[in-house]
Amino acid sequence: MEKITVPELTSSNYFIWALKMKAALSLKRLFSVIENEKPVGLEGKALSDWSTKNEDAVSYVKLSLSDEHALQYANEDNATSLWEKIKSNFTGQAEDRKRDAGNELHNLRLREKEKINDYIARARGLTTKCASLGLDVTERELAFYVVRGLTGKYAKIREILKTQREEETLQNM
């Protein structure tokens, strides 16, 4: 059997976790029990098959929870409601973190004595953080924030780069 890995759900990675968990459950043909409530009138083998899929999906999701979150969902035995409860609990918190990460990128500035390579690496790290929270940042946006945050001896370069309105990306600079 192939190994499918999903990151442990923590307080800061809900969007990545949900994306990978959905993919893993889809590969196992289990996401249908999360998307749809138990059909009415199931009997016999159909009921047994649905129950098995539900239990498997619940188990996969619970096994991916961090210790700090596992007990919160310990009594949940329905895949659909488990998924919705996790989503509900994390999207509100994630929205705040997403806004914070976006603001951090928006306020990006070259620090005194910071090397330009370190500054660009820090900017790329912020875009990765944003992406993990569900906030996509294009290369053009990243270039905009990096150029706008240039200070000190790079201020003249910033002004030159700001006047260039072609497809500006970090690769082009």
Question: In whole angstroms, what is the distance from residue 100 CA to residue 106 CA?
Answer: 10
* Domain limits, the chain: 13-93, 108-171
Per-residue pLDDT of 114-153, as tens digits, reads 999 999 999 998 998 888 777 889 998 998 899 889 888 8
Per-residue pLDDT of 5-47, as tens digits, reads 888 998 778 878 998 999 999 999 999 999 988 888 888 998 8
Q: Which two tokens stand for residue 156?
A: 């003249």
Burial of 164 (0-12, 13-18, 19+ CB in 10 A): exposed
Question: In whole angstroms, what is the distance from residue 23 CA to residue 4 CA?
Answer: 10
Per-residue pLDDT of 89-120, as tens digits, reads 887 776 787 888 889 999 999 998 899 999 99
Whether the model clears a pTM of 0.75, i.e. scores above it, the answer is no
Predicted local distance difference test score (pLDDT) of residue 164: 66
Question: In whole angstroms, what is the distance from residue 61 CA to residue 17 CA?
Answer: 10
Predicted local distance difference test score (pLDDT) of residue 109: 94
Residues sharing a CB contact under 8 Å with residue 2, sequence separation 6 or more, in sequence order: none
Coil, strand or helix: which one is 154?
helix
